[in-house]
A and B are shown apart, each in its own frame.
Chain A
């Protein structure tokens, strides 16, 4: 659908200069260029917009700490299409000479960007895509992530399942990176503690014909079900699970995306679903309450997890510029400053691992009255194992 639009958007890279310099002392030299590579059209448009809004809010709030540096945003629409990623990343790198590149949402696009940006001077910050490889075999000194690795939300759920006394679990997801990695992470901790995966089903992405599988689950009669689905698939799975009468009989566990941004559409069917994630909208952290109000004042609606992750990417940039007193010309200094930061995130404070993935809490949430209510910290300061990373 977007073929004509893709050409146009590449050409029309909206260059927005935000008037953030403080009149006191003019910027020392060129403005700090932040390239933004997020989907602003297509199925992930909402996620891209949320991430960008969070990013801009962080830089606006920190305007006084930038030592007079001007910020210039260059926004490119990825449309969540992996095939366009290398071209867009290369234009930000070579043509616009961006100092920081923020993106993307989609793991496939991340792979295309990494191809272009790995080992370069420009710092890349991933505000969503969870692909294990980005902070695993393909990790690089200039690549950071402010979101999660696919392993992080699911690994603690294995222990949660054991603590709840579930011995036999039925695992089901889509047969693609995030789906496979989520089930593997769950299986890793669950079987290590003596649990058994009675059935592991991987469906072609993005098939949502779940009813027959729900019947099979009823027939297998496991102690619990673990799953990763997101978006429309998450809605359909949770509704089918409820419609076939399994809700309340066989507990449903999942990676947090099963109930993120979907609760309204899932309605009562989602009640009691337990998920693991590094954030919850009602998380009782002062920074979270502050952030939610500030975001609502700025944009007229409350933020979601994607806005949080974009906001933290903005904080990482602002704090780095602050610590370097506005001089970011030495890229090695930028990287070594950023990797030592402690980010005061709405999800709770986090630091970066050696592979530059957040070391963060993963919360166990349960849906009650249409809200993901935090039950406990499923894993504290959880670090992704970064398998294959040589940093």
Chain B
């Protein structure tokens, strides 16, 4: 591999990793704060992609569609938390797993009923459809650079909210001692609703951003869910910093694996995960 190709692939890997972080951030946030393992997280990614596809077809504007879809996802998160998740805080993980697996089936069937089983695609918005010269005979699409920056911006915003704001303080307090926070007069119930809804919205926003780069197909949620779990487990369950580092590692490693040993590429990130867990059984940044 030439040095030039090495850097090209490194950029591909980082770009993929940033998107993975965005998807995984909601999963790890919800688990870290609420102790809920949301297996339907991938379905929320799918919902985001399908919603934006649907609204682009109706309105013709990607920006309007993206905002509409994100708001709907936030609302969906609130409803799911209030109607379903709330009942499970005092139950064990198995019950949570059963409920959220059930939600995967429900969302897949809804997708099939509402939008059918054809594969769809969303066009890149006109303003971002250009590309910048890259190597001799390839260029880099502006939209993918933009997507990477959106991911970085959201990562920074998450960091700021969790570490510098009152909401973040409550989130961190709720993580370490739920009863004490409640005793101090904080409405932990609505705090949990907000956190869960943000988690859902983060997954949907990743689906929205990914939509113009990927194909929108049935089952797209499950395929990202597994990669997401690898990212979160490597980084340490519940750690946002861990998810960031884990996502970049997985992105870069799987990109190089795909090029250097294509037939085995799917295996490599799992082997990497096993190695990490052997050395650090709780993940890189476990709490």
Contact = CB atoms under 8 A, between A and B. Distances in A.
Contact of B140 (A231, A244, A267, A268): A244
Contacts of B119: 231-232, 234-235, 261-262, 265
A100 B49 CA distance: 42
Interface string B105-146: 100110010001111110110000001001111111101100
Contacts of B266: 204, 207
B219 interface: yes
Contacts of A218: 8, 135-138
A140 to B, nearest CB: 32
B134 A208 contact: no
B138 A43 contact: no
Contacts of A264: 120-121
A46 B137 contact: no
B105 to A, nearest CB: 5
Interface residues of B, number: 51
Contacts of A235: 119, 121, 215, 217
Interface string B207-236: 000000111111110010000000000000
A267 B126 CA distance: 13
Interface in A165-216: 175, 201-204, 206-209, 211-216
A43 B117 contact: yes
Contacts, number: 133
Contact of B16 (A211, A214, A236): A211
Interface stretch (A90-98, A245-253, A338-346): A245-253
B157 interface: no
A244 B139 contact: yes
A202 B263 CA distance: 6
A246 B97 CA distance: 44
A24 interface: no
A221 B136 contact: yes
B16 A46 contact: no
A290 interface: no
A224 to B, nearest CB: 13
Interface centre among A201, A212, A221, A245 (most CB of B within 10 A): A212
B90 interface: no
B71 to A, nearest CB: 25
B258 interface: yes
Contacts of B5: 215-216, 219
B121 A239 contact: yes
B69 interface: no
Contacts of A236: 214-215
Contact of B117 (A46, A211, A214, A234): A46
B45 to A, nearest CB: 14
A391 interface: no
A267 B118 contact: no
Contacts of B143: 243
B254 A219 contact: no
A267 B129 CA distance: 13
A233 interface: yes
Interface in A26-63: 41-46
A206 B217 CA distance: 12
A267 B57 CA distance: 13
Interface in B60-92: none
Contacts of A267: 121, 123
| A interface, size bucket | 35 or more
B222 to A, nearest CB: 10
Contact of B138 (A204, A206, A233, A244): A244
B117 A213 contact: no
B138 A215 contact: yes
Nearest to B131: A245
A227 interface: no
Nearest to A230: B119
B59 interface: no
Given A209-B16, A215-B12, A236-B214, A45 B117 contact: yes
Given A244-B138, A244-B140, A215 B214 contact: no
Interface string B243-281: 000000000001110110011011000000000000000
A265 B121 contact: yes
Contacts of B120: 264-265
A250 B137 contact: yes
A1 interface: yes
Interface string A254-296: 0000000110111110000000000000000000000000000
A43 B139 contact: no
A266 B262 CA distance: 25
Nearest to B53: A265
B13 interface: yes
Contacts of B219: 43
A212 B255 contact: yes
A232 B214 CA distance: 8
Interface string B186-219: 0000000000000000000000000001111111
Q: What 5 pairs across the A-B complex have the smallest Cβ distances?
A: A265-B121, A245-B139, A232-B217, A218-B138, A235-B215
Interface of B: 2, 4-5, 8-9, 12-13, 15-16, 104-105, 108-109, 112, 116-121, 123-124, 131, 134-141, 143-144, 213-220, 223, 254-256, 258-259, 262-263, 265-266
5 contacts: A46-B118, A208-B214, A215-B8, A219-B4, A243-B143
Given A203-B265, A207-B265, A264-B120, 12 more contacts: A45-B112, A204-B266, A208-B215, A218-B8, A219-B2, A219-B4, A233-B215, A235-B217, A245-B137, A246-B137, A250-B137, A267-B123
